[in-house]
Structure 1
Amino acid sequence: MTERLIAHRATQSTQWHIHWRIPALIGFAFFMGVVFALLQHFLYIYLHHRHIEDEDKKFRWVLYGRALAYLAKVAFGGCVVIIFRQRIWRTFRNRALSVLSIDQIFGATEDPSLFANWEAVSSAPIVVIIALVIWLIPLATIIFSPGALTFGNYLEAETLQLTLPTINFTMETIKDWRNPVKLPDGSNKRSVMFYNTTDIDGVKPGWFDYYDQPSAELRRIAILLAYSNMDHPNIAQGARQDNCGGPYNCTYEQTFLGPGYQCAEVARGTGDAGKLTEYGAPFNMSSLVPEGRYVFLGDVDRGTYAQPQAGEFRKGPGGVPVGDPDPSLGVFKSEPVLWIGYAVNSTEWLAPDDPLAKNWTHRYDPAIIRCVHMETKYTVKWDYVEPLFHSTTKREYLTPVVDTNFTRRDNGEPNETDPQPESNWISPRDDVPLYKKTAAYHAIGEMFRDFLRGHVDLEPPIPGPYYAQVYSDVTKTRLVGKNSEPLANLTDEIEEFYSDMVLSLFSAPEMLAIDTEKLTVNRSRIQSSFVYVPERLWQCYAPVIFVTLVIMLFGAFTIWEDGTTFSVGFSRILVTTRNTTLDDISRGACLGNDPFPMELMHTRLKFGVLNEGNDVEYMGGDGYQSVGHCAFGVASEVGPIRRGVPYAGLPDSGLKRRAKTETATEKDNFD
């Protein structure tokens, strides 16, 4: 079989052509490197800001990313390695290198000692640079690129539509206490007021319901707000998570109609009459400190809804009148105007010659304010930030709850019996929805007025003792400060306190006035998750892709210039080292063991055409003589390889030596 193979190969010569396999491998490896880098990028995009609770799942996702980084390294590295193998043969043809350098170049992808060999660096810089790239690719792909994906906290923000609670007094206007509105848990919705009626069954001709008093639920809401002493409304427990749709911080704005008190200062300072006479004020500055004894005075019941109502009623609950009801039964003729007088310590010492210095050490500034009950358009911005919340309220005062005024008697005193115009009276017999809305507003206002009614007396410090005597629930609220004295900005505080009482209805979702609406919510939360920074990934891959592309183009040019492709397999080494000179200088080193002889390691070899003679084996079709063969040898015995020359392989001397050896073997066998 060997002889037949020898006979067949005896007429063969080298084939100068570029086989498709090596260029295809180079292009495919580069393409797959880019694909794996993109897959890693898309995987990290998928994981970016994704919250994963399962630690094992987190670990698996990280491994997937590292696996893609490793595959990218294999692809890019494989592309460069193939080109490196092509280039080293060009180097061996152009430069005579020591066996040590040739050794290190062949093993450059596994042994970095090449970079410490000055001969290799100076004589084969391109090969050394390509080898260095092979070593650096894993650093960029495997080590640094996974660092683009980390764990951390980020602010997750979004804008969406959510169904949120709002205040809508429409339900109060249409609700019949005989037919309760059910909640999902089976309990009943609660009104802000209790009703009396002319017919409990609601079947008699001309029957109607009329206002009685604030409901127990409204009293609880108002008292909790007042006693909390906070500068914000009360809200339902868990409101942040319910309103924000989960454990988020969120902000949103809503608008609704409700009752509000519009206050204005009508007089300030000792002796100032202001507009007191014009408005028919029930008191003047002489009642307030320092001229009078009151540091706070609240007159809040003038023209209020009569309790009890006119007429005769049956015994028992319900307020059912005996006989025909009084024409004024249940009618809202007016809403009380709040008259609030107060004095504030200016902290300024009185001059010794001031008449007030006889009893007072500091100057007190008295003021009188007037507040009208108005239907109000509320615009509220809610800002929920764990664990707190903040609300900003804008009020647009629309119309008085009951738009009537007191006439004057002949002596100038207000006539509180028949406010005018009578056409603005609100009766339960006429517009029932309007009456019920007015009654709801009145109930909330009545609870508010309960805290402002009465007075706080202040004993002067001289001769002392200096203390306040309290005859009002205002001291249970946030409207007063030290020593039970009112706050300096009481006008604004009263408006805001009443607004907060209205908003505190949100703390009781069971109230009829609490409805729902769809609103745009801006919400956010600090989320612990994967964080992907694309710049970091591409800072790793961009240089690799660019350098690999440059090397690939350089390798393609080298292959085209060489006219063939190369490999570093054992078979290629076998056929390129068949040289009698190498046989002679390598005697005693045939085991392939270490240490290798140093004099041989420093022998300089070059790859080229052996100059062993000019015996012609055959004439090629292209006119070239097929002579010698290409192999490693000392620089003096090799010539340059010319592209297109059909080199046959081993020279005749090799064939003759083989024939001689075979003859000797046959003779020995014969003997």
Structure 2
Amino acid sequence: MVAFFIFGVTTAVGHHLFYNSLRGDPVVETSSNWDLEAFFHGQEWKIRFGTAFAFLTQSLFAEAIDQAFQQTVWVAARNKAITVDGLDAMFSAGSSLWSFFKLEFLKKATLGALLGLIKWLIPLSALVTPATLTVRPSTSLSSSTMSVPAVNFSIIEPLYHFDESVRQTDYAVSNNGITPYLTRILSSVATSLQILPMKAAVPNSTYETTFHGPSLRCSRPEPIIHEAIYWMVKASYNASYNGNPEDLEEFYLHMPWVAFAPTATILQYTHLASKGDPRLGGVVPLTSNITQPHFLTFARTCIAADAYWNDDYLSRIGIAPAMCEGVSGFDEWNARNVTHEYVSTLKYADQLHPMYTYNITSSNYGRIWVWVDNSTTYDCVLTDTVYSARFFYSQSESMQRVDPEYKFAWTENDLHGSYFATANALSNFLTGAIRADHANNVVLQRTRVTESAIFGALNLKSEVGDSAPGLSSRAITPEIRALARGKTPGELIEELSRNLTLSLFSAEQVLSINATEAVVTVSSQGNVYAYASRNLIITYAVTSAVSLAAILVGLMSLIKNGVCHEIGFLTFLLTTRNPRLDSFTLGNSMGAVPQSEKVKKTKLRFGFIRGTHGDIVQPEWQSLKTPSVDVQEQTGPGRVGFGFENEVQPLIKGAAYL
């Protein structure tokens, strides 16, 4: 009994150690279930071993409890007279559940019935413990230094055409040399409000890299630039209505958005109006008859142009249509060779000295001027930027994505020769005007800003018909306003420019595959063993505790019996050698069931049966008064066994029975 319990505890601990050794191990697929590889590594064999542990453990505990049960029922047989039917149920309870439906057994051998029931329930633990080992998907990580892709900003041709037939010929909807390839990328970035994914260089990888790239830096402009933007807005409104600017009152109330890349001419007159140029002999104000036609011409040609227009007005004032040049130089050399010498004069909004000088190429290298709502203006300047971005693998898309929480910092470095392409594409997207008529209808002129989150950052009128600047809530719904996330138009323009640069990683035509090195963390998907140790430990702890309690009861019964009993043929052979029982059961020696009610209802008890002639037991006998010496000598011939209730004397511990 004790040995079986110890062995059961040992196998339970072994089961735990076996499963614990498998925790986190990869699940290995084997070609066969019946070779050595499968035996040592196969998932099926791991389950078989666990089931074997569970079966062996519950069998050992059940056997220990069965031994305790056997000792306990013999105590009940000694203490009380029980019918043959009750004795049959009591001694067969370990092998037949039908015994628990016998009320006499439950009443006269309650402790034995409890132990028998526990023995039947112990195997249930085998339903829990094998299932504590499961298989779950897992991700393992490994890091190494690898070559990763980077944008090659020296590659210009896929983004920009130098062919004169592409640039400067379509006055109304000028592409400024930007290719459809780059236009599609910008459209996707602006409308999706996210950075485009790239083809995965290494599947399931994550890495961080730092690189230089372009972005727009928007700030509040100098007063003279603000004034120039103001006059361009006025000219745009005039071009839209084809009227005289001086006759239009509060025109700015109806122009919530105007954006453009100032041409070299606009930059020249703006600079001369700020300080003058001694070589020209004085200041040229923005309101002069020389300056205003250039503003109006540019507005008619590049900002507020209709799908079809004629140049009668421009011909009458003797001004040719403007070239909508964007933010780049006209010739390939200047586009490829931007240097600090003249970029520094155009780069910062807080510098008034020359935005335009006569000893450099007449071009705008990286400026976009923006008018928003009533009087807010931005001078957005193309700036070299350091990006620190994390690239992660999107399992659902099988693509590499840029973490939107990237870091960036503007630098004072010279602009790279091909940065202008992204600024030009942004200029094409933003340039144009939004006009609100008196009925609060929105009139779009060239600009595509309504396709981006920037549109949601524009002001709203308080109500329909309100004379305050802004757009109607019919134009900017709460859903559109939510896209702006509370950011200003300037912040959103900067974000759009950065997202465009980061989305160039999706443009394979400008991507260098092994351009730089980074520490790449590769995740591998697979199945590993998971072990719910808590469930196994609790199950075996409860089983062990119940078994230990049963064993303690069995040991107490063993001590009370004085000898060890079993339930088997030999035991019943020796304990039923009673001539009266032989006579009583005459005609039933086959032991067939069911037995007669007479036999089943007869009460028997286990004890000392005294006889006078060795083979004939007297029904009348006296109780032993001094059992300490020799029972047989004091009582005459007799034996220990089952007998009728009125012929059995209770056994006395310590007496010498035959």
TM-score, with structure 1 as normaliser: 0.60
Distance across 1 between alignment mates of 2:57 and 2:214: 69
1:306-385 matched pairs, under 5 angstroms: 308=331, 331-335=339-343, 336-337=346-347, 338-344=366-372, 364-381=373-390
Please say if residues 144 and 519 of structure 2, whose CA atoms lie closer than 8 Å, have aligned partners that are also in contact.
Answer: yes
Tell me the distance in 2 between the aligned counterparts of 1:466 and 1:192. 32
SS where residue 432 of structure 2 aligns? strand
TM-superposed CA distance for 1:613, in Å, is 3.8
In the aligned structure 1, how far is the partner of 2:441 from the partner of 2:527?
61
* Structure-2 change in CA distance of 1:330 and 1:265 (3 Å): closer
What is the aligned partner in structure 1 of residue 605 from structure 2?
606
Distance in 2, matches of 1:458 and 1:556, equals 97
Whole-Å separation in 2 of the counterparts to 1:545 and 1:554 = 14
Counterpart CA distance in 2 for 1:100 and 1:36 is: 43
Describe the superposition over 1:510-544 as per-residue Cα deviations: whole angstroms up to 9, x where unpaired: 734842311568x798x888765444444443322
* Change in 2 beyond 3 A, CA 1:614/1:583: closer
C-alpha contact 1:149 1:531 (8 A) present in aligned 2 = yes
1:465 to 1:397, Cα distance in 2 relative to 1, 3 A: closer
Give the Cα separation in 2 of the matches to 1:624 and 1:190. Answer: 121
Deviation at 1:566, TM superposition (A): 1.8
1:635 to 629, 634, 645: 645
Structure 1 residue 598: deviation in Å?
Answer: 1.5
The whole-number CA distance in structure 2 between the counterparts of 1:455 and 1:141 is 76
Question: Are positions 1:259 and 2:202 aligned together?
Answer: no
Partner of 1:119: 104
Q: Distance in 2 between matches of 1:466 and 1:31?
A: 83
Cα distance, 1:33–1:400 mapped onto 2, change above 3 Å? closer
- The Cα of 1:489 is off from its aligned counterpart by 4.1
SS of equivalent to 2:217: strand
C-alpha contact (below 8 Å) 1:221/1:504 kept by paired residues: no
Q: Which residue of 1 aligns with 2:413?
A: 401
Q: Considering fraction of residues, name the structure with more strand.
A: 1
Question: Aligned to 1:590, what secondary structure does the other structure show?
Answer: coil
* Distance in 2 between residues matched to 1:517 and 1:586, nearest whole Å: 95
- Whole-angstrom distance in 1 between the partners of 2:602 and 2:542: 38
Query: Sequence identity, in percent?
Result: 20
Per-residue Cα deviation, 1:87-129 (whole angstroms, up to 9, x for no partner): 2222222222111111111111222233222222221111111
1:225/1:233 contact within 8 Å kept: no
Matched, 1:445 2:405: no
Q: What residue in structure 1 maps to residue 182 of structure 2?
A: 222
Report the alpha carbon displacement of residue 629 of structure 1 after superposing the two structures with TM: 2.5
Deviations 1:296-335 (A, max 9, x none): 3322565988654899xxxxxxx9xxxxxxxxx8744233
Count of aligned pairs between the two proteins: 489
Secondary structure in 1 matching 2:594: coil
> 3-state DSSP class of the match of 1:128?
helix
Q: How far apart in 2 are the matches of 1:465 and 1:68?
A: 80
TM-aligned CA deviation for residue 373 of structure 1: 3.4
Q: CA deviation at 1:291?
A: 5.5
Determine the structure 1 residue equivalent to 2:143: 161
2:389 match: secondary structure: strand
SS in 1 for 2:411: strand
Q: Distance in 2 between matches of 1:31 and 1:284?
A: 88
Question: Structure 2 CA distance, aligned partners of 1:631 and 1:144?
Answer: 44
1:144 Cα deviation from its structure 2 partner: 4.4
SS at match of 2:516: strand
Q: 1:636 Cα shift?
A: 2.5
- Which of the numbers 60, 67, 85 marks the counterpart of 2:70? 85
Structure 1 position 129 matched with structure 2 position 145:
no
Distance 2:329 2:12 in 1: 86
Q: SS in structure 2 opposite 1:629?
A: strand
Q: CA deviation at 1:563?
A: 3.5
Question: What residue number does 1:456 align with?
Answer: 432
Which letter maps to 1:142? A
**2:517 equivalent to 1:516:** yes
CA distance 1:116–1:49, shift in 2 (3 Å) = farther
C-alpha displacement of 1:632: 1.0
Contact kept in structure 1, 2:134 and 2:529, CA below 8 Å: yes
Question: For structure 1, which segment, 78-87 or 48-57, has the greater mean C-alpha deviation from structure 2 after superposition?
Answer: 48-57
Q: Distance in 2 between matches of 1:498 and 1:60?
A: 59
SS at 1:564's partner residue? coil
> Does residue 1:31 correspond to 2:9, yes or no?
yes
- Unpaired runs of 5+ residues, structure 2, are 34-41, 163-176, 240-254, 268-326, 348-365, 457-470, 615-627
Instruction: Give 1:212-611 correspondences, 5 Å limit.
Output: 222-228=182-188, 229-238=191-200, 242=202, 244-245=204-205, 255-266=210-221, 275-277=222-224, 283-288=228-233, 293=239, 295-299=257-261, 308=331, 331-335=339-343, 336-337=346-347, 338-344=366-372, 364-381=373-390, 386-387=395-396, 391-402=403-414, 438-439=415-416, 442-452=417-427, 455-456=431-432, 461=437, 467-470=443-446, 489-508=488-507, 511-512=511-512, 514-518=515-519, 533-611=532-610
Separation of aligned partners in 2, 1:129 and 1:478? 75
Cα displacement (A) at 1:285? 0.8
Q: Which one-letter code corresponds to 1:222 in the other structure? A: L
SS of alignment partner, residue 122 of structure 2:
helix
Q: In the TM superposition, what are the counterparts of 1:130-145 in structure 2 within 5 Å?
A: 130-138=115-123, 140-145=124-129
Q: Relative to structure 1, is the Cα distance of residues 376 and 104 closer, same or farther in structure 2, using a 3 angstrom cutoff?
A: same
- 3-state SS, counterpart of residue 607 of structure 2: strand
Match of 2:58 in 1: 73
TM-score under structure 2 length normalisation: 0.61
- The separation in 2 between residues aligned to 1:309 and 1:49, in whole angstroms, is 59
Q: CA RMSD in A?
A: 4.9
Distance 2:194 2:30 in 1: 37
Q: CA deviation at 1:498?
A: 1.9
Judged with a 3 Å threshold, the aligned counterparts in structure 2 of structure 1 residues 191 and 557 are, in CA distance, closer, same or farther, namely farther
